[in-house]
């Protein structure tokens, strides 16, 4: 293919993309500009509440349904396992019906699974709702990465920051409001089903997005060179996958078990629940913080290692049950920064939306399978030893391994920049 042909095809594709974004079936142009941003925010907001709402009322659920710690850990691990097994399938779904329709279907699945919790009066029924919501979350995650690459290719770090902020906000809402709702209504089923409202609110927004994508199938058909194959043979993709898995393992272990950990250390259920809220709330600005830090110093490694250090200090404080509020803030900030950077790294490697979704699907599929081990491990250790010390020690060890993996991920040029920065700091 010569340069003239490439230029003509690129120009035609840009025109089609422009037409697809401008012909909005009655939506005003200014509203159309903001619609993808609002849709991204609303969808991201639904990725965590069905998981984070469990931990603050976990002991109430366990007593009511007679669940041991291992069975209770499945309420967190099942959605994570769904993310692992179903992420690759989401790429096929996005290829056949488009990112937008796939995300809209996922929101409907989350709505149904959440509403079903109203009638979850047995452990098997509650675990079934975890599967349904987990399927919706699993399909939506990689599709959102492709959606960002497709609609915001000129400002990906900022949109990743918005995505992370909305995701953390959803987690914080679930962590902070579930216990008050349960105490007010005297029903943990209602407290869990309440989060269907967020998905219900997002569905009309995504319906509008789906309606405007009239030219998307033409655009995708005009680019046969784009592939949705997962990069199984790429060593760098495996490094990013392992990194994502270790990062998510620590996050979901704390998201699922931080309140019981604090309760076992002698703190009240209310205080332990507030610590989980702090853990989630501090992650809301972490995406924007990472975006600003990357603008000042673009090296991924500096901020990856900094985030791991914050997470490490937080876990050590949790182990000794010292300054629990500081432990929640440091571990939460570290987890939030790591998630933003961990989501950005696969997109950095991609050259088009389908490739971005494919890299995200691989890192998230295998990564979430690794992550699902975390909550199960913590629950099993608690059942076996009746304490959390060994489990927290394991999370500390995993964080140290995470830092070593980060050093392998970043190219040599970036490492040289880090070493130069370190020498400058030492001179100062």
- Alpha-carbon gap, residue 113 to 120, rounded angstroms: 10
| Tokens matching residue 133 | 């919501």
| Tokens matching residue 179 | 């216990």
DSSP class of residue 26? T
Structural domain that includes position 175: 34-211+230-421
Question: What pLDDT does 269 receive?
Answer: 79
- Alpha-carbon gap, residue 162 to 284, rounded angstroms: 9
Cα-Cα-Cα-Cα dihedral sign, residues 245, 246, 248, 254: positive
Question: What pLDDT does 362 receive?
Answer: 85
pTM for the model? 0.77
Residue 17 has a CB neighbour count (10 Å cut-off) of: 16
- Alpha-carbon gap, residue 6 to 402, rounded angstroms: 42
- Alpha-carbon gap, residue 376 to 352, rounded angstroms: 36
118 assigned to some structural domain: yes
φ, ψ of residue 286 to 5 degrees: the values are -60, -35
CA nearest 76: which of 289, 332, 377?
377
CA nearest 146: which of 43, 50, 248, 238?
43
CA nearest 174: which of 100, 105, 250, 110?
110
Question: What pLDDT does 29 receive?
Answer: 52
What is the number of helices (H) and of strands (E) in the chain? 20, 0
| Tokens matching residue 204 | 């009309």
217 assigned to some structural domain: no
Question: What pLDDT does 79 receive?
Answer: 92
Total of domains in the chain: 1
Question: What pLDDT does 87 receive?
Answer: 74
Which residues, 6+ apart, have CB-to-CB distance to 293 below 8 Å? 303
pLDDT, tens digit only, all 428 positions of the chain: 444 443 344 444 444 444 444 444 444 455 567 888 999 999 999 999 999 999 889 989 999 999 988 999 999 999 999 988 887 788 788 778 888 899 999 999 999 999 999 999 999 999 999 999 999 998 998 888 888 888 887 787 788 888 888 988 998 899 889 989 998 999 999 999 999 999 999 999 998 888 876 444 434 444 444 445 778 888 888 999 999 999 999 999 999 899 999 988 988 878 888 899 899 889 888 877 887 888 888 888 889 999 999 999 999 999 998 899 999 999 999 999 998 898 888 877 777 777 777 787 788 789 989 999 999 999 999 989 988 999 999 999 999 999 999 988 866 444 444 443 344 334 43
Question: What pLDDT does 153 receive?
Answer: 76
223 assigned to some structural domain: no
DSSP class of residue 118? G
Which residues, 6+ apart, have CB-to-CB distance to 43 below 8 Å? 103, 106, 107, 140, 144, 202, 206
15 assigned to some structural domain: no
Question: What pLDDT does 213 receive?
Answer: 66
Find the angle CA(69)-CA(378)-CA(44) to the nearest 5 degrees: 95
27 assigned to some structural domain: no
Question: What pLDDT does 4 receive?
Answer: 44
The CATH number that applies at residue 181 is 1.20.1250.20
Question: What pLDDT does 257 receive?
Answer: 92
90 assigned to some structural domain: yes
- Alpha-carbon gap, residue 174 to 195, rounded angstroms: 8
Whether the Cβ atoms of residue 126 and residue 120 lie closer than 8 Å to each other: yes
């Amino acid at each position: 293919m010569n340069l003239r042909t490439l230029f003509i095809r690129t120009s035609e594709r840009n025109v089609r993309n422009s037409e697809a974004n401008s012909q909005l079936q009655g939506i005003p142009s200014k509203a159309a500009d903001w619609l993808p941003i609002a849709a991204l925010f609303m969808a991201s907001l639904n990725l965590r509440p069905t998981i984070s709402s469990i931990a603050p009322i976990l002991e109430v659920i366990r007593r009511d349904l007679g669940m041991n710690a291992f069975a209770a850990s499945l309420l967190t691990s099942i959605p994570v396992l769904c993310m692992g097994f179903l992420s690759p399938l989401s790429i096929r779904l996005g290829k056949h019906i488009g990112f937008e329709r796939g995300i809209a279907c996922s929101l409907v699945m989350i709505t149904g699974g959440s509403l079903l919790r109203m009638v979850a009066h047995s452990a098997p029924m509650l675990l079934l709702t975890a599967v349904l919501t987990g399927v919706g979350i699993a399909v939506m995650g990689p599709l959102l990465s492709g959606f960002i690459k497709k609609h915001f290719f000129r400002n990906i770090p900022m949109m990743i920051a918005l995505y992370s902020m909305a995701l953390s906000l959803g987690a914080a809402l679930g962590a902070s409001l579930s216990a008050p709702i349960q105490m007010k209504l005297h029903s943990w089923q209602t407290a869990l089903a309440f989060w269907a409202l967020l998905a219900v609110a997002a569905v009309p927004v995504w319906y509008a997005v789906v309606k405007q994508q009239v030219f998307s199938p033409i655009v995708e058909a005009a680019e046969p060179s784009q592939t949705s194959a997962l990069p199984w043979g790429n060593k760098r993709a495996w490094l990013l996958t392992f990194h994502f898995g270790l990062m998510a393992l620590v996050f979901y272990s704390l998201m699922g078990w931080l309140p019981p950990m604090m309760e076992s250390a002698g703190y009240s259920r209310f205080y332990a629940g507030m610590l989980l809220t702090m853990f989630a709330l501090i992650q809301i600005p972490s995406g924007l913080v990472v975006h600003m830090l990357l603008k000042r110093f673009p090296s991924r490694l500096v901020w990856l290692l900094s985030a791991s250090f914050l997470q490490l200090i937080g876990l050590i404080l949790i182990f000794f049950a010292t300054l629990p509020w500081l432990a929640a803030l440091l571990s939460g900030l570290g987890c939030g920064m790591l998630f933003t950077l961990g989501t950005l790294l696969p997109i950095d490697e991609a050259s088009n939306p389908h490739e971005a979704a494919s890299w995200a699907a691989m890192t998230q599929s295998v990564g979430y399978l690794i992550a699902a081990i975390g909550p199960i491990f913590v629950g099993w250790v608690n059942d076996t030893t009746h304490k959390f010390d060994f489990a927290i020690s394991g999370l500390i060890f995993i964080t140290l391994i995470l830092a070593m993996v980060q050093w392998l991920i970043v190219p040599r040029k970036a490492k040289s920049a880090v070493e130069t920065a370190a020498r400058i700091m030492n001179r100062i």
